[in-house]
Amino acid sequence: MGMYPEYMVAPIREDLTSAGFEQLMTAEEVEQALSSKEGTVLVAVNSVCGCAASKARPALKMAVASSEKRPSKMVTVFAGMEQDAVAKAREFMLPYPPSSPSIALFKDGELVHMIERYHIEGNELNRIVDNLQGAFEAYC
């Protein structure tokens, strides 16, 4: 059971799933998605907070929609809801501390780019988009 009622988070989940992100609900799903040693995986740690709504999710959608190079796979976990899935995703993101929202890019099973909450909440939307596009260009 998550911290929030599902009816409240359903539209927030859909904000990313409608843009092509797969919602991971279990630790096993996260393990399977992030253990791949081939290709790139973009992971969004989604959240109900204002900076996720005003910056993280819009930046993710804009960067993916406007980039020539894109990750092979895009997944999301929801902080405050599926705790085991989020905990497993954060294990893969070490040594970075838990951060919601956050965005991680993996290439061939290795973490290659990380955007923490403090990079999101205190930044302009276009700078976050540029950051993501630069990571896509470098690693995808």
**Active-site pick, 51, 56, 60, 93:** 51
**Active-site pick, 19, 25, 48, 49:** 49
140 included as an active-site residue? no
Strand partners, 76: 23, 44
What phi, psi does 134 have (nearest 5°)? -65, -40
Three-state SS letters, the chain: CCCCCHHHHHHHHHHHHCCCCEECCCHHHHHHHHCCCCCEEEEEEECCCHHHHHHHHHHHHHHHHHCCCCCCEEEEEECCCCHHHHHHHHHHCCCCCCCCCEEEEEECCEEEEEECHHHHHCCCHHHHHHHHHHHHHHHC
Active site residues: 49, 51
